[in-house]
């Protein structure tokens, strides 16, 4: 008796997906603005590509730049990402690049500095 019901689910799901898709366009401009700069303002330097590739794959880099940690604490966070968030451990030389970059450009004062640059903080 369950079969006919299951059979009906697929077209229903498709219909729902179509409705959601049609509802999307008004949302697009806002999303595009947020994604205009895929680096979220992070300056060009050795390791930036790696940070984007390795740290922007599961979540937005926004999550990363909203922190400001010294290098040693980025190292702790990376271990947490490996152990608790199922991140594939980086090769040692990739790890150095990523941690050097984060330590240099996403340090304790960087988030505030970025807010100041944008005129949000004075
Ligand atoms: C395999 C997926 C994955 C990768 C790759 C990954 N993360 Fe995460 N990260 C997560 C998850 C899942 C969370 C937790 C989100 C939550 O629950 O709020 C998280 C959370 C974070 C947070 C927020 C911590 C907090 O709670 O304040 C930071 C910062 C962060 N990640 C930085 C990084 C950095 C830097 C990298 C690259 C070195 C990275 N992540 C790579 C999955 C990943």
> Which tens digits make up the pLDDT trace of 31-64?
554 457 889 889 999 999 999 999 999 999 999 9
Is 45 in contact with 104 (CB distance < 8 Å)? yes
| Nearest alpha carbon, ligand 1 atom 18 | 63
Distance CA 55, CA 9 (A): 37
Is 65 in contact with 106 (CB distance < 8 Å)? yes
Q: How much is the average pLDDT of 65-94?
A: 96
Whole-prediction pTM value? Answer: 0.76
**6 part of a folded domain:** no
Over residues 88-99, the pLDDT tens digits come to: 999 999 999 999
| Nearest alpha carbon, ligand 1 atom 5 | 87
Q: Cα–Cα–Cα angle for 98, 100, 102, nearest 5°?
A: 65
Question: What sections of the chain are H helices per DSSP?
Answer: 2-23, 28-35, 48-55, 61-65, 71-84, 92-105, 110-117
- Predicted confidence at residue 109, as pLDDT, reads 85
**59 part of a folded domain:** yes
The count of structural domains within the chain is 1
Distance CA 42, CA 46 (A): 11
Of 47, 50, 68, 81, which is best to mutate to test ligand 1, by the most ligand atoms within 8 angstroms of its C-beta? 81
Range of the domain at 59: 34-117
**38 part of a folded domain:** yes
- Predicted confidence at residue 69, as pLDDT, reads 94
**18 part of a folded domain:** no
How many angstroms does the Cα of residue 65 sit away from the middle of ligand 1? 11
**28 part of a folded domain:** no
- Predicted confidence at residue 33, as pLDDT, reads 47
How many angstroms does the Cα of residue 85 sit away from the middle of ligand 1? 7
Of residues 117 and 30, the one with the higher pLDDT is 117
């Amino acid at each position: 008796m369950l079969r006919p019901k299951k059979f009906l689910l697929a077209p229903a799901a498709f219909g729902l997906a179509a409705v959601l898709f049609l509802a999307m366009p008004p949302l697009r401009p806002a999303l595009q603005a947020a994604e205009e700069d895929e680096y979220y303002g992070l300056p060009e330097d050795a390791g930036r590509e790696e940070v984007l590739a390795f740290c922007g794959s599961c979540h937005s880099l926004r999550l990363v730049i909203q922190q400001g940690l010294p290098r040693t604490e980025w190292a702790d966070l990376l271990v947490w990402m490996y152990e608790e968030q199922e991140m594939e451990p980086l090769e040692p030389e990739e790890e150095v690049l990523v941690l050097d970059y984060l330590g240099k450009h996403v340090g304790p004062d960087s988030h505030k500095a970025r807010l100041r640059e944008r005129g949000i903080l004075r």
